[in-house]
Structures are given as structure tokens and as C-alpha cells.
Amino acid sequence: MRAGINCALANRQILTHLTRQVFAKILPKAYLPLLYDVSHNTCKVEKHRVDGQLKKLHVHRKGATRAFGPATSTCPRIARGRPAGADRRQHGHASYILGGTEAGMQLAFGSACHGAGRAMSRHQALKNWSGSKVINDLFGHAS
């Protein structure tokens, strides 16, 4: 699992670098800072309270990511309350950056579902939209 996590991290870094290169050719003065880089589908050893006792647990997040609350003392101060992930409601509609809460730390060991709040499943979305329809809708053209 650690090898897979490392491979995904390297892949995200490569895609970020290549994206910046493309933008540099088109918009040389473009500034593309990394807002956040977060893994999902991981298993980590973490300390959490269970029945009032602090315990060391293997927390497996399949389809989820770590979402630190703003008061979490187990992570660096700069990372507290940071974004946990993006929530895309539907193609061409609002997207949100999500952050962890203290309640989420207590209820779900600080986990946030990847894609939480989707209006429909990925399978249903594939049935409803094609790539060209999404692009046309985003640019305001009739399909």
C-alpha cells in the first residue's frame, strides 16, 4: 500500500509540473501555486480516542481522505483546518473546497469522503454526459 501511495504522490507531482509547463507556454506570467495535495485510499497508523481512551489504530480510508480539524494538535500548525478535498456536485456546477472539523475528528477519525455530496454516482454521470457535452455546456454552446 505504501508503494501505491508513493506512486500516486509522484504521479500528482509530475502532472502538476507538466500542467505548469503548458500554462507557461500560453501564459508566461501565470502563477499556479499548489493549493493542497492530499492522498485518498490510504491506511495509516494514527492515534484516536475510542471509548474515552487514546488508542493506536490502523485507519483505512477507501474513497476518503484525512480531514484535520482546526484544533488538531497532532499535525503541524500550518496544516490545521486545511482543505481536505474537493466536492464536485455535477459537471458544470459548483465545486467546493472542504475542510475538516472537530466534530469530524470525533465522529469519523478525521475522515472526509472523497466526492462527498455527489448528486449522482460516477456510473450514472457517465450515462448522462459525454465529454463533448460537458465541454459544450461549460462554454455555453448547444449540444
Least-confidence region, from 25-29, 35-39, 121-125 = 35-39
Spell out the residues 6+ positions from residue 142 whose beta carbon is closer than 8 angstroms to its own: 136
Cα–Cα distance for residue pair 98/77, rounded to 1 Å: 18
Of residues 58, 114, 123, 141, which has the active-site annotation?
A: 114
Tell whether the model's pLDDT for residue 92 goes beyond 70. Answer: no
Q: How would residue 95 be classed by pLDDT, with cut points 50, 70 and 90?
A: low
Give 90: exposed, middle or buried? Use CB within 10 Å, 0-12, 13-18, 19+. middle
Task: Give the pLDDT score at 89.
Answer: 47
Tell whether the model's pLDDT for residue 33 goes beyond 60. Answer: yes
What are the tens digits of pLDDT across the range 36-90?
A: 777 777 888 998 889 999 999 999 988 788 877 776 666 666 555 555 555 454 4
Cα–Cα distance for residue pair 96/79, rounded to 1 Å: 18
Mean pLDDT of 3-8: 88
Q: Closest by alpha carbon to 99, among 86, 82, 112, 111?
A: 82
Q: Is 58 a catalytic residue?
A: no
Task: Give the pLDDT score at 72.
Answer: 65
Q: How would residue 142 be classed by pLDDT, with cut points 50, 70 and 90?
A: low
Task: Give the pLDDT score at 11.
Answer: 94
